[in-house]
A and B are shown apart, each in its own frame.
Chain A
Amino acid sequence: GIQVEQSPPDLILQEGANSTLRCNFSDSVNNLQWFHQNPWGQLINLFYIPSGTKQNGRLSATTVATERYSLLYISSSQTTDSGVYFCAAGASTGGFKTIFGAGTRLFVKA
């Protein structure tokens, strides 16, 4: 099945800094999502992006499906961006199984 690897595992930023989170996946995918889990455990869907580029405010994401990676950009980080960012991928050949990466834990300092 698909394997999903995220890097870096941990990241500490000063408020206002920019960052790039990476997600590599081992096979062709039809489904690539980015989630943010806040310190209270709530998971919010940030992007559904099996290919191409999307932007939502200070966040943007790019998936290059042919090269099997996706990037999440956070610009002008804020303390509320702290939490864990997960990448999740799936392929139609695997049914509706969505595989989550181990996450990138982000802490933004004031």
Chain B
Amino acid sequence: SQTIHQWPATLVQPVGSPLSLECTVEGTSNPNLYWYRQAAGRGLQLLFYSVGIGQISSEVPQNLSASRPQDRQFILSSKKLLLSDSGFYLCAWSGPGQVFQPQHFGDGTRLSIL
């Protein structure tokens, strides 16, 4: 069966520091991968999605970036964090291909910027 792992579960970072959040998927090949952010008490905002290695689509202009160095690895990064980057970051995967399929989420990373 497929599983998705995200780490770390919680992170406290000072303003201006770099960020690297990692997400890996097991049990499937060539998944579509997604990064979402959820502000406290609100819905999810799609940040990035990827349909293959090195293919990244950005949905929201920000100081975050994403990379997909391997088929089942998705990384969210920042060179300098802002206070507004605080939130709950969720990685998700869906089956491969150019059609919609159900999305499955990791347990998320709670990021606090001080």
Q: Which residues of A contact B (CB under 8 A)?
A: 30-31, 33, 35, 41-45, 48, 50, 86, 88, 90, 92, 95-103
User: Does residue B27 face the partner (Cβ distance < 8 Å to A)?
Assistant: no
Whether the pair B90, A100 counts as a contact (CB closer than 8 A) is no
Shortest distance in angstroms between B110's beta carbon and chain A's nearest beta carbon?
8
Shortest distance in angstroms between A28's beta carbon and chain B's nearest beta carbon?
13
On chain A, the residues within 8 Å of B32 by CB distance are: 96
User: Does residue B21 face the partner (Cβ distance < 8 Å to A)?
Assistant: no
Whether the pair B43, A101 counts as a contact (CB closer than 8 A) is yes
Number of CB contacts from chain A to chain B under 8 A: 56
Q: How far is the CA of A13 from the CA of B96 in the complex (A)?
A: 39
Q: How far is the CA of A100 from the CA of B108 in the complex (A)?
A: 17
Whether the pair B103, A86 counts as a contact (CB closer than 8 A) is no
Q: What range describes how many residues of B lie at the interface? A: 20 to 34
Q: How far is the CA of A31 from the CA of B99 in the complex (A)?
A: 9
Which residue of chain A has the shortest Cβ distance to B51 in the bound complex? A96
Binary per-residue interface labels of chain B (98-114) against chain A in the complex, 1 for a CB within 8 Å, 0 otherwise: 01111111011010000
Whether the pair B103, A45 counts as a contact (CB closer than 8 A) is yes
Q: How far is the CA of A41 from the CA of B40 in the complex (A)?
A: 11
User: Does residue B88 face the partner (Cβ distance < 8 Å to A)?
Assistant: yes
Secondary structure of the B side of the interface?
Answer: strand
Q: How far is the CA of A49 from the CA of B99 in the complex (A)?
A: 14
On chain B, the residues within 8 Å of A42 by CB distance are: 105, 107-108
On chain B, the residues within 8 Å of A96 by CB distance are: 32, 34, 49, 51, 57, 100
Q: How far is the CA of A46 from the CA of B69 in the complex (A)?
A: 30
On chain B, the residues within 8 Å of A33 by CB distance are: 102-103
Q: Can you spell out 26 A-B residue pairs with CB atoms less than 8 angstroms apart?
A: A30-B100, A33-B102, A41-B88, A41-B108, A42-B105, A42-B107, A43-B92, A44-B105, A45-B102, A45-B103, A45-B105, A86-B44, A88-B103, A92-B99, A92-B100, A95-B49, A96-B32, A96-B49, A96-B57, A96-B100, A97-B59, A99-B46, A100-B44, A100-B45, A101-B43, A103-B43
Q: How far is the CA of A57 from the CA of B18 in the complex (A)?
A: 45
